Amino acid sequence: MIEVSKRVSLIAPSMTLAISAKANELKAAGVKVINFGVGEPDFNTPEHICNAAKDALDKGYTKYVAAAGLPALKKAVVKKLKTDNNLDYDPSQIIISNGAKHSIFNAIFATINAGDEVLIPKPYWLTYPEVVKSCGGVPEYIYATPRHGYKITAAQVEAAIRPQTKMLIFNSPCNPTGAVYTEKEIRAIAEVCVAHNIVVLADEIYEKLIYGGESHFSIAQCSPEMKDLTIIVNGVSKSYAMTGWRLGYLACPPNVAKAISSFQSHSTSNVNTMTQYATLAALEGVQQPMVDMVAAFGRRREKMLEKLDGMKSLGLDYVKPDGAFYVMLLCDNLFGKTYKGVKIHGSMDVADLLLTHKQVAITPGVCFGDDDAVRLSYALSTADMLEGLERIADFARECE
Ligand SMILES: Cc1ncc(COP(=O)(O)O)c(C=O)c1O
């Protein structure tokens, strides 16, 4: 038997696997499952982006390129960071990787030593703790409560910092809560990080998906000192409906970029060349398809929140999300009740019962470190969304 390394044995299997396996079984049996579990836009990649990839193939751009990314694409990212975020970077500070997930891995692998503590606000995107652990770091959680709009405060960060704290992972707009921090809230957190020399991994992958008049502010914008401590991660998966293309990027101080560039050249090397040309078209081409997609998500969000408002009387509350395409639905009022003879203990039971009896797939909050809620994605058609919410309402009514 081959014994796996201690490093990988620490990584937890995905908790969502059992639910999605069961949903797939039902679908294969011809049952219509309404899926609120989707983590990607249900829109096609815009045509001009696909055409740019086809064009790259036709031109024979099928060879290796620089491991850290096409120079033209790095320049386009620099321009994007200036235009959207008013941040100045040199192309050498940009690394193009295989999706934002890969960029996050690179950032943590390049900076975290064994025993370093990494602060993670919870509910969190479930990959963060697993990457931290696989790099020898120790995740420490700061609870972002629904009472505070699922946002951590500067005071909470200050209280959580210990001598071994190295990094804070900061995700705004947030998956799973949809929380978007204001500039004021971010500046307060930045002040604490600068005072204690804490590196901030700023995951800004949902930057473009913000609604209701809120806007994105990058923590790197707070001050030159904060920028020197920030690793920005972003990409095109969510904003341009390009999840399958696999392209993310990071922007960071020169010494970190140099280190990542070196080890990326010995691991994955360059992201596939056609995807890089497609991404160039995404960043530099017409933005209207992306604007239209965000507007469509915005309309769905309105409908979803309207419907959820009507479900509050059933004990199902929520915190208004301003970004991404998720809502956390608080279901702790159902705990202790029974449904068809089964006692509900936590979010996993809610997910399981909803799937079995109502053919509705949702993601239990326990996967994100918060058992009091379930995550609903609105990356599905409005008709399915409304039908699914009606089924969830029926479920809550039928709990005794
Ligand atoms: C918060 C967050 N960061 C990063 C990613 C990864 O994005 P990519 O598909 O570009 O790897 C996701 C994807 O679900 C996400 O939700």
Are residues 315 and 182 part of one domain?
Answer: no
Q: Domain count of the chain?
A: 2
Is 213 within a domain? yes
Domain-ending residue, one of 233, 268, 284:
284
250 CA distance to ligand 1 middle (Å): 13
Q: Which two three-digit tokens encode residue 96?
A: 């193009």
pLDDT at residue 372 in the model: 98
Q: Give the predicted TM-score (pTM) of the model.
A: 0.97
pLDDT at residue 21 in the model: 81
Is 194 within a domain? yes
pLDDT at residue 14 in the model: 75
pLDDT at residue 117 in the model: 98
Are residues 97 and 23 part of one domain?
Answer: no
pLDDT at residue 283 in the model: 98
Q: Which two three-digit tokens encode residue 150?
A: 């699922």
Domain-ending residue, one of 232, 260, 284:
284
201 CA distance to ligand 1 middle (Å): 13
Instruction: Quote the CA–CA distance of 42 and 378 in Å, as a whole number.
Output: 9
14 CA distance to ligand 1 middle (Å): 15
Are residues 215 and 309 part of one domain?
Answer: no
Are residues 244 and 119 part of one domain?
Answer: yes
377 CA distance to ligand 1 middle (Å): 14
- Would you write out the chain's pLDDT as a tens digit for each of its 400 residues? 999 998 888 888 777 777 778 888 888 999 999 999 988 999 999 999 999 999 999 999 999 999 999 999 999 999 999 999 999 999 999 999 999 999 999 999 999 999 999 999 999 999 999 999 999 999 999 999 999 999 999 999 999 999 999 999 999 999 999 999 999 999 999 999 999 999 999 999 999 999 988 899 999 999 999 999 999 999 999 999 999 999 999 999 999 999 999 999 999 999 999 999 999 999 999 999 999 999 999 999 999 999 999 999 999 999 999 999 999 999 999 999 999 999 999 999 999 999 999 999 999 999 999 999 999 999 999 999 999 999 999 999 999 9
Are residues 354 and 276 part of one domain?
Answer: no
Nearest-CA residue for ligand 1 atom 1 is 175
Q: Which residues contact 363 (CB under 8 A, 6 or more apart)?
A: 16, 19, 36, 37, 176, 351, 374, 375, 377
Phi/psi class of residue 345: alpha, beta or left (left: φ > 0; alpha: ψ in -120 to 50)?
Answer: alpha
Q: Is the CB of 175 under 6 A from ligand 1?
A: yes
pLDDT at residue 250 in the model: 98
Instruction: Quote the CA–CA distance of 199 and 134 in Å, as a whole number.
Output: 18
Instruction: Quote the CA–CA distance of 256 and 207 in Å, as a whole number.
Output: 23
Q: 96: which strand partners?
A: 249
Phi/psi class of residue 16: alpha, beta or left (left: φ > 0; alpha: ψ in -120 to 50)?
Answer: alpha
Q: Is the CB of 234 under 6 A from ligand 1?
A: no
DSSP state of 166: E
CATH at 308: 3.90.1150.10
Instruction: Quote the CA–CA distance of 250 and 202 in Å, as a whole number.
Output: 9
Buried/exposed code over 217-253 (b: 16+ C-beta within 10 A; e: otherwise): bbbbbbeeebbebbbbbbbbbbbbbbbebbbbbbbbe
Q: Which residues contact 166 (CB under 8 A, 6 or more apart)?
A: 111, 112, 113, 116, 117, 118, 137, 198, 199
Domain-ending residue, one of 259, 284, 309:
284
Cα angle vertex 8, ends 4, 13, to 5°?
Answer: 110
Are residues 264 and 121 part of one domain?
Answer: yes
Nearest-CA residue for ligand 1 atom 16 is 175
| Substitution candidate for ligand 1 out of 40, 98, 127 with most atoms within 8 A of CB | 127
Is 98 within a domain? yes
Domain encompassing residue 344: 6-44+289-398
From residue 351, alpha-carbon distances to 94, 221, 268 in Å are: 40, 40, 37
Cβ-in-10-Å burial (0-12, 13-18, 19+) of 97 comes to: buried
Cβ-in-10-Å burial (0-12, 13-18, 19+) of 35 comes to: buried
**Residues 233/205, Cβ–Cβ less than 8 Å:** yes
Q: Which atom of ligand 1 is nearest to the CA of 104?
A: 4
Torsion from C-alpha of 249, 78, 170, 206, nearest 10 degrees: -70
Is 375 within a domain? yes
pLDDT at residue 239 in the model: 96
Is 1 within a domain? no
- Using DSSP, state whether 373 is helix, strand or coil: strand
Which residue in the block uniquely carries the two structure tokens 């918060």? 370
pLDDT at residue 142 in the model: 98
Are residues 157 and 69 part of one domain?
Answer: yes
Q: Residue 36 corresponds to which amino acid?
A: F
